[in-house]
Amino acid sequence: MDQTDYLAEQEELRKARKAGRWQGALIMAAIAIFIALIILAVNIGLKIRNGTLLSLLSFGKETDPVITEEVKDKAETLKAVIDTYYYEEVDEEALQNGIYKGLMDGLGDPYSVYYTKDEYEEMMEGSEGIYYGIGAYLQQDSETMQIKVVRPIPGSPAEAVGLLTDDIIVEVNGEDITDQDINLVVSKIRGEAGTTVNVGIYRAGEQDILYFDITRAKVEDVTVEYEMMEDDIGYIYLSEFDDVTTGQFIDAMEDLKEQGMNSLILDLRDNPGGNLDVAVDVADYILPEGLVVYMEDKNGEREEYKSDASHHWDKPIVILTNGNSASAAEIVCGALRDYDRATLVGTKTFGKGIVQQILPLGDGSGVKVTIARYYTPNGTCIHGDGFEPDVEVEFDVDAYMNDETDTQLVKAIEILKEKQ
């Protein structure tokens, strides 16, 4: 099977997988719309002192509702306090949005978020692998909610103005974005080509916030870099699992094979993840036929993603990891490790092993909610834990600054030489 046929086949498989997921999403969206219609029909909510209707959604079971009479009475009391004592005019819509956001915040899950209509529209704007923005990979810490720069894309506006790895974004166009969801922050940073966005960042060692005016541009994301190294060791760096990654990865693999590659270093350091289907594609191009990853929801319902028998590369592999290797990158790590196909070298991975789904609500708003966990073929869920490397090697910054010695890469080469 040549590359064109393989990509066509993978696209058909991807469509089939997405069709199944979208069917579930449409059902859930229909339920959400139905609930909204019921609320409008029977005026569920609070009639407060000034006659304003404060609508509240109840997502609890019928026998155990979230919005009990006690909760309604307390909300009514709080609104009365605001109307009586608060010293400025009140934005009624902002209060209602605060209730919806608070309901999601109550889960204690930083990945489950309510979006207002405007936020939802902003967030859904975007494209697949080509977009207008500053050109930087971002990652959000699930505990601190800080959004940091994982890596500026080479040749991007972000790199040109001097953004660096581990810079923490704190402002966008003068707005404090701390504690905001990363999808929403990305939507604020993106915009029309040629326009300017002001980004405020905190950088270790600096006392004050640093501000950068960055001109947005069309960023064509090259997610794969590769080269043939000494002793016929192939090297492939994946910066992200984007829609364009599958084709780029296959091109890299085939070119390196033609050059005589007999072992591979797959560098997933600073890879924040991306598209699940693409991660499966990458693993599928290496693994034999079998399970790559599966998702399981709270009801025990399971969805499996498998590799087929069309490709199987059986030479030695080392995967380089660090604390920024997350999500889809960890799916590839887990699959190749469970099949005894790769040695992990570097430091512990990030530890994001849960699935989010974005659902539209009937009024133009939407929610992102965690719906399931990821599991490796052997049944391991690494959420909150990450993968410990088989061979732990710290990245020596001083050595790299001195003569560009990459201590983790050096160890990977050493291991593969021993396996040849």
3-class secondary structure, 35: helix
Indicate if 117 belongs to the active site: no
| CA dist., res. 400 & res. 392, Å (int) | 18
b/e map of 130-163 (b: 16 or more CB within 10 Å)?
ebbbbbbbbbbebeeebbbbbbbbeebbbbeeeb
Give the span between the Cα atoms of 100 and 114, in whole angstroms. Answer: 7
Are the CB atoms for 380 and 336 separated by under 8 Å?
no
Q: In what order do the strands lie in the sheet with 317-321?
A: 224-228, 233-238, 263-267, 317-321, 343-346, 391-392
To 10 degrees, what angle do helices 3-42 and 276-284 make? 160
Amino acid at 272: P
Instruction: Decide if 96 is catalytic.
Output: no
Choose the catalytic residue: 79, 148, 188, 352.
352
Query: What is the torsional sign of CA 405, 224, 372, 32?
Result: positive
| Neighbouring-strand partners of residue 295 | 303, 374
d(CA 309, CA 281): 12
Catalytic residue among 55, 58, 142, 356: 356
Angle at 81 between CA 75 and CA 83, to 5 degrees: 105
Residue identified by tokens 């201590």 is 407
| Closest residue by Cα to residue 169 from 150, 193, 155, 153 | 150
Query: Residues 6 or more apart from 40 whose CB is under 8 A from it?
Result: none
SS3 193: coil
CA–CA dist 309, 336 (Å, integer): 15
Structure tokens at 411: 């160890």
Answer yes or no: 327 catalytic. yes
Instruction: Give the active site residue among 263, 327, 365, 408.
Output: 327
What residues act catalytically? 327, 352, 356
